[in-house]
Amino acid sequence: MNARERLIRFLTTDPRDVGCEEAMAILHVYAEVAAQDPVAAAERYPGVAAHLAACGPCREDLTGLLAAVSGDA
């Protein structure tokens, strides 16, 4: 990714995105809600939902938590 692409990505970042640190602090709670109703989780925690839409590593962590919550782990 070149400098222009990084700048464009930064400028198009959802302003609701809470970032990795805040998302990880409540990801276990988000996963519990999302396991029952993903729409409700996104509505209750829009900043986390925005972050998960943009951050692959955090999205992977959520996938693991959802598997654990649902018993698929």
DSSP 56: H
Domain-embedded: residue 35: yes
CB neighbours (10 Å) of residue 3? Answer: 7
H or E element at residue 19? helix 19-36
**Residue 60 counted as domain residue:** yes
Answer whether residue 8 is part of any domain: no
For residue 1, is it within any domain?
no
Query: Considering the domain boundaries, does residue 11 fall inside one?
Result: no
pTM (2 d.p.): 0.80
pLDDT tens digits, 6-57: 777 777 778 899 999 999 999 999 999 999 999 999 999 999 999 999 899 9
The answer to the question of residue 53 being in a domain is yes
Does residue 9 sit within a domain? no
In a domain, 39, yes or no: yes
In the chain, the number of structural domains is 1
Residue 45 in tokens: 């925690």
Look up the domain containing 28 and give its range. Answer: 16-70
